[in-house]
Structure 1
Amino acid sequence: MQQPESENKLKVVLCWHMHQPHYRDGEDGVYQLPWVYLHALKDYTDMVWHLEKQPNAKAVVNFAPVLLEQLDEYQAQVHQWLQDGTAMKDPLLNWVSGAEAIPQDIDERVKIAEACQKANAPTIINIFPAFREMVDLLNDSKLLNEPNHTLMSYLTDQFFVDLLVWYHLAWMGISLRQDDERIQRLMAKKSGYDAADRKLLMQIVAEAVAGIIPRYKALQDRGQIEISMTPYGHPIVPLLLDFNSLHEAMPHAPLPSYAQYPGGSERAHWHMKKGLDVYKRYFGGKPKGVWLSEGAISDAAIDLLDEYNIAWCASGEGVWRHSCEKSHIDEHDLNSKKALYRPMKRPENQCSLFFRDDGLSDLIGFQYKDWRAEDAANDFAHHLTNIANFVCKEGEKNVVSVILDGENAWEYYPDNAYHFLLELYAKLSDHPRVELSTFAEVLSDGVQPRELSYIQAGSWVYGSFSTWMGDPDKNKGWDLLVEAKQAFDKQVRSGQLTAIQQKQATEQLGICEGSDWFWWFGGYNPSDSVRDFDRLYRSHLRKLYQLLALEAPKNLDVPISFGGGDMENSGTMRRN
C-alpha cells in the first residue's frame, strides 16, 4: 500500500565537518597559527549551542582527531597558566594574558598588529568601534605595509594590550557574548584593560575551550547528534594507498617523482587505528561513520573501512556523478539527481556511501551569507520541499546530504550566522515534509542503499584529487614526504631506534601525512597563507628527521610554494 506523502518525509542530514591541522611548530612546539582556539571560541561553541537550544534538531558532527587533541592541549595549557603562571605554547595567548610582556622590538610589534587583523573585517572587526579605531590607526599610518619605526615605537604597551584583548573579544561566539556577562563587561570597558581584565579573559577562554568536547558528547549521549571521525592525521587515504588513483579523474595529471607512497597501506591502517583510539578517549565507544579526509574515496579506501566495520562514509557530488556514469545508473535518475538522494553501496562492501548535494551545501557555504536569515532558511526549505515532492512519491525513503565545514563559512555571515542557523534549525525541525536525521539513523530507519558497481576515486572538491596532487608544487611536497618516509623505513629496519623514539617518529610522520599541507601549495592560494603552511610543513619534516637521529636534507630550507591567488572565503572548501 502506498505510503501517504505526509508520512513519508524526506530525510535530511546536516553534517558539519570540524577540522584544523596540527599548528604546532615541529621543532620548538610553539603554535604558529591560533586557529584551533579561535575557532573554538567562535564556532565550536556556537555550533553546539544552537543544537542545545533546539533539541528537536539533529545533525552529524565530524571531528578530526588531531583537532580534538589540540583542543585538549589548549585548555590544559590555559588552565596551567591560570594556576601557576606557566607560559603557554601560543604567542598570542602569552601576549594577551601577560604571560609575556608586550615586546619593545619593532618587528615583534608589527607581528602583533598583523596577527590582530587576521579576520574578516566587515563581520568581526568593523562591528566593534573601539576595535575598528585601533585597526584604522595602524592602517592609516601604514605601519604594516611600510613599518614606520618611529610611529610604532610611540604606540604604548597599553595600545597593544587593548588591541590583543579586542581581537579575542571579537572572536567570541555569539552564544558566549549573549550568555556570559563577563564578556559583556569587558566589551563595555572599551579600553585600558588591566591585569585583572586579562586574567578574566583567560578564564573565559579556558572554560569555553574545556567545555567543547563534553558538550558535544552530551548531545551524542542523548541521541541528538551523531559524532563521526576522520583518520587521525587527516591524510588523503586513496593517495596513501595508490598514487595512481589520481588518474581516475585526471588521466593526464603528472604524478610525483616516486611511483607510490612507500608502505601506504600500513600507514592508512595506522591513521585509522590511531583515530579510533582518540575517538574512544573523548567520546567513548566507536564511531559508526568515518568521513575520509576531504571526502576522498576509492575502491581500496572503502575496502579499508570494511576492515573496521564502519557503517558509512560520504563524499561529494562529483564522485557520485562519475561513479554513477561508470556504473551505468539510469540516465534519468542521474540527470535529475534522483539517484543522489539514496545511499549507495558496492555489492562486495558493507560500508554505505552518502553523497553531498553540492548545490544545497554551497548555498550555505557561499551564498546565504548575503541574504536575510529568514529568506535564506525559507529558500533552503523550499528547495527541500521540491526534492521531497519529486522523490517521495512512491513510498521510497530518501535522504539529502548537506555536508560542509562547520567553522569557516560563518565568519562571512553577520553575527557568525547566529540568525541564519537559528532560522534553519527551527524551520527544518518543524517541517511537514522534512525530517532531520543522522547517517546512522537513516540506515537503521530503512533507507535502502542503491547498488553502485563502480567507484571512481575522487574527493568532495571537483570530484578529483587536484587540490592535493598533480600540480608541480604539490608534487614537490609529496616528493619530500616520500623521501622522509624512506628515511623512516630505513631507520626502523636498522633497529637503532628505541621503542620511544620509534613511537614519536611514527606519530610525527602521521602529522606530515596530513592533507592540509598539499591543499595550500599552488598558485591559486593567498601568498601569506601559503608561506605559513609551507614553513610549518617543512618544520614538521625536519622534526621527523630529528626524531630519526638523522640530519635533515638541505632542500627542507627551500620554500616549496609561494601562492599569489585570492581564494574565495579563505579556508572554506572550494565552490564546486
Structure 2
Amino acid sequence: MNVAIIWHMHQPLYRQPGSHTAILPWVRLHAVKDYLHMAQVLSQHPDIHVTFTLTPSLAEQLEEYVSGQLVDRLMQLTEQQYFSPADKQYLLDMCFSISWDNIIRRYPPYESILNRRHLAQMNPDYFSNQTYRDLLVWFNLAWTDPNLLENDPFLVGLIQKGQNFTLAEAKNLIQTHLSLMGQVLPTYKQLSKNGQLELITAPFFHPILPLLVDSTIARRPSPGLSLPEPPFRAPEDAHEQLHRAVAKHTEVIGKSPTGLWPSEGAVAPEILPLVAEAGLHWLATDEAILGESLDVYFDRDENGMVKRGDLLYHPWRVTSEKGDLAIIFRDHELSDRVGFTYQHLPGSQAAEDMIVRLQRIARTQSGRPDALVSVILDGENAWEYYEHNGDIFLHELYRRLAEAPDLNPVTPDEHLAKHPPGDALEHLASGSWIMGDFTTWMGDPEHIEAWSRLRDLREVYELWQKESHPNKQRLQDVQSHLFAAEGSDWFWWYSHRNSSDQDALFDQLFRDYLAAAYQAMDIIPPDNIAQPITGMLQQPSAPRHFITPRLVAAPDPRRHWKDAEVIRPQASVGTMQQAGGVIQAVRYGNDRDNLYIRIELAAPLNQFALTLHLGTSGGDFLVKLGRIQTTAFLFQLSHGSQINIGPVTSALAEKIAEFAIPLGHIQVKLDQETVGTLVVTLRSANNQTESQPITGEVEISFAHEQQAMSGS
C-alpha cells in the first residue's frame, strides 16, 4: 500500500512594510531548528519519498535573509550594548516562546531566567542588561537544531558557558544561524532533483482561497455564521495568489509544481477552476471534506481505524470548467497523532504505533491497487515537544517504512502517475482541515472587523484602478501590500481559539499592510486603521430557530447539530490546531422542551469529571458527569447546597458528551428576552482543571416561539 506523507512548511510575511526588518523572527528560527533539519533527516533515508510545501512567502523571506535584504528585530538587538524599555518588554514577551518543560528546563541557566520572569514583567529593570543579553542568546540557542548544539564547537562552548555572554558571542551566534539558513533552499532543491522529495506549492501569501472568492462560502458548513456585511468577494485575488505562487516556486526550485496544498486545506467548488487554470494537477485536503461531499460519516472502531477505508484511501477526481483535478484526502486521525499525540511517547514507540496502524490499513486495502493513505500536517511546529527535536521518531519512522514489505512511501505525483483517479466526486464540500469549516478565520467579532477593513480597502483599490490607470510597477506595489493582508495568519490570531504573546504584533502587521496599500495609492488611510482589532469581546449570536438534535454522540456534529450555536474555546496557544485545546467546541440550542448541549474534547472524556454551570433567570444549576461515569445528574444550587433534581438524558462517546436538559428543570420560560450563562469545567484525576471561558462566563441566548415560527 502506498503511503504519502506531506509536511507543510509555512510562515507569513513578517517584514514591516517599507522596511527591511521582520517584526518576528520565526522564519529564521524555524529554518535553523526545523526546515534544514527535516531535509537532512530525510536525506539519510534514500528509499523514503515524501512531499513538502515551502510556501512562497516563506521561500521569499529565506532568500532575503541569506542575501542580507532582511533582518529581524532579535538580530538587531544582538548588536546593542544596552536595551530600552521597549526592547526589554519585547524580549520578555518573545524569548520564552518555546516549550518550557522540554527545552528551557533542560538548561539550568535558561530555567533560572524563566523562574524570575514574573519579577521582570512587573519591573523590567529587575533584569540587568547582561541578563537580557543572556536571555537573547539562550533563546537563539534553544531554536537551534540540537544536533548542532551537541557537535558544533562554538555552540557547545556557549552551552557550557551558560551566562555572561559577550556582544561578540551574540553576534557570532546570529552569523551561524545565517550560514545555516543559506543551506535550506539548496538542500530541498537537491533532494527534489534526486527524486526523493516532491515540492508542492500553496497560495502565495497563504490566504483562505474560498473566503477570498466569496466570504459567504463560510456559511455552507456553518449556517448562520457571522460575516462581514457586505461580504468580501475577490476571486481575481485568489487567481493572482495562485499564479504568483506557481511563478515563485518555478523560480526557486527550477521547475513548476504539480500539486497544491490549499492554505489550511480550505476548499470549495469555486476554487477548482482557479487551481486548474494555474497549471496544477492535484490538491489535498481533510477527510472531513470527503465525508461531507459523500454524506458519509467516517466512523472509527475502538482502535481508531476508519470503517469506510474503501472511500478514504484512494484519490478522487473533481471536475471544473478549466479541467479535471485529482484530489487526495488525509487521514485525520493519523495526521493528528503525529502532530499532537506522539509527542507524549518515546520516539521509537510512537513510530511503532504509526507503522502498526498503517499495516492494519494495508490489510484492509490489499485488494485495491490504487490504495493510498495520506498523512498531511504541519511540519515545523510539533518538534519542540518531541524527544530531541523529533529525531528519534523521524529516523525510526523512515527506517520502519523502508523495511515494511507492505508499505511503500511515495509522493502523490508518483502515485498518480501509476493510478490516475477513477472515481469522480459529483460535489466537493466547502470547508478546511480544522473542524471541516472556516470558523478559525471567520465568525468572531475580530474576524468580522478585520474582513470589513480588508473589504473596504479592496473597494477603494478597485475604484483607484479605474480612475488612476496605474502603471505596472505601481499596481504591483499596491498589490503586494493588499495580498499580504489577505493571508490567513492574521485571521488565525484574531480567533478566540488561538492566542500567543505576540497577538498584538500580528494585529499590528495586518493593519500596517492595510495602511501601506492605501499609502501606495496616495490615499490617506482611514482613521480606524490605527485602532487595534485584537481584544474585542466575543458574544455568540442568538440561535435563529429551534433545534432538536438526535443524541448519538457522533464524531461529526454536522448531521444532528448543524444548526446549533458554536462557542469556540479561547486561547489555544500556538500555530497548530487539533481543532482546539482539550475543550474543542461547545454547541448548544433548544426547542420548546429542552436545552441541548454538546461538548467536544481533544482527549478521552473518561479522563475528566465534567461540570456544566448554567445560570438562568430561575437560578444556578449544575450538570455533573463524574470521571468514568455514564450517567449525568442535574443539581440546583441553593444557599450553598446542591439539590439533586435527577438524571439528565445524555449520549457519551470517547471524546463527545451530549445532553438534553429540560427547560422546566432549569426554570426557563421562553420569550424574546431569555438569556442564560454557561461555564464548562473539566477536572482531571490529579485535580488539574480547564474551564471555558477561561474567566467569567459566556452568555447563551435561547430561541423562542416567535423565532421558531418566523424562522428568523
TM-score by length of 2: 0.73
In 1, Cα distance between the equivalents of 2:378 and 2:368?
32
Q: 1:480 to 1:440 in 2, by over 3 A?
A: same
Counterpart of 2:195 in structure 1: which amino acid? G
Moved more, 303-312 or 11-20: 303-312
In 2, Cα distance between the equivalents of 1:343 and 1:386?
19
Checking the alignment, whether the CA contact within 8 Å between 1:508 and 1:540 is kept in structure 2 is yes
Q: Does 1:120 align with 2:99?
A: yes
1:284 pairs with 243, 248, 254, which one?
254
Q: Report 1:295-314 matches (<5 A).
A: 295-314=265-284
1:372 pairs with 338, 346, 360, which one?
346
Give aligned pairs, total: 544
Shift of 1:376: 0.8
Counterpart of 2:106 in structure 1: which amino acid? I
Counterpart of 1:514 in structure 2: which amino acid? G
* 1:112-148 Cα distance to aligned partner (Å, 9 max, x none): 2332212111122111122222332434xx111x116
Q: Does 1:355 align with 2:359?
A: no
1:45 is matched with which residue? 36
Counterpart of 1:280 in structure 2: which amino acid? T
1:316 is matched with which residue? 286
Shift of 1:570: 1.3
In 2, Cα distance between the equivalents of 1:556 and 1:43?
35
Q: Report 1:95-494 matches (<5 A).
A: 95-96=77-78, 98=79, 100-103=80-83, 105-139=84-118, 142-144=119-121, 146-147=122-123, 149=125, 151-152=126-127, 155=128, 157-261=129-233, 264-325=234-295, 335-347=307-319, 349-392=323-366, 394-446=367-419, 448-494=421-467
Checking the alignment, whether the CA contact within 8 Å between 1:525 and 1:563 is kept in structure 2 is no
> Looking at both structures, which has the greater relative contact order when contacts are Cα pairs under 8 Å and sequence separation is at least 6?
1
User: Quick check: which has more Rg, 1 or 2?
Assistant: 2
Q: Does 1:552 align with 2:529?
A: no
Shift of 1:265: 2.2
Q: 1:198 to 1:41 in 2, by over 3 A?
A: same
Secondary structure of the corresponding residue to residue 48 of structure 1: helix
1:533 pairs with 501, 506, 514, which one?
506
In 2, Cα distance between the equivalents of 1:529 and 1:159?
22
In 2, Cα distance between the equivalents of 1:448 and 1:527?
42
| Percent identity (aligned) | 31
Q: 1:168 to 1:449 in 2, by over 3 A?
A: farther
2:579 is matched with which residue? 575
Checking the alignment, whether the CA contact within 8 Å between 1:38 and 1:171 is kept in structure 2 is yes
Q: Does 1:54 align with 2:54?
A: no
1:24 pairs with 15, 28, 37, which one?
15
Q: 1:195 to 1:527 in 2, by over 3 A?
A: closer
Moved more, 496-505 or 515-524: 496-505
Q: 1:552 to 1:400 in 2, by over 3 A?
A: same
In 1, Cα distance between the equivalents of 2:149 and 2:124?
36
Moved more, 59-68 or 111-120: 111-120
2:496 is matched with which residue? 523
In 1, Cα distance between the equivalents of 2:371 and 2:24?
42
1:83 is matched with which residue? none
Checking the alignment, whether the CA contact within 8 Å between 1:309 and 1:351 is kept in structure 2 is no
Secondary structure of the corresponding residue to residue 490 of structure 1: helix
Answer 1 or 2: which has greater strand percent. 2
Secondary structure of the corresponding residue to residue 283 of structure 2: strand
Q: Does 1:511 align with 2:484?
A: yes
Secondary structure of the corresponding residue to residue 106 of structure 2: coil
In 1, Cα distance between the equivalents of 2:319 and 2:21?
48
CA RMSD of aligned residues (A): 2.4
Structure 2 spans left out of the alignment, 5+ residues: 538-568, 581-712
Q: 1:49 to 1:38 in 2, by over 3 A?
A: same
Structure 1 spans left out of the alignment, 5+ residues: 1-9, 81-87
In 2, Cα distance between the equivalents of 1:465 and 1:259?
15
Checking the alignment, whether the CA contact within 8 Å between 1:158 and 1:192 is kept in structure 2 is yes
| Structure 1 ranges of 4+ moved more than 4 A | 331-335, 563-569
Shift of 1:191: 2.6
1:85 is matched with which residue? none
TM-score by length of 1: 0.89
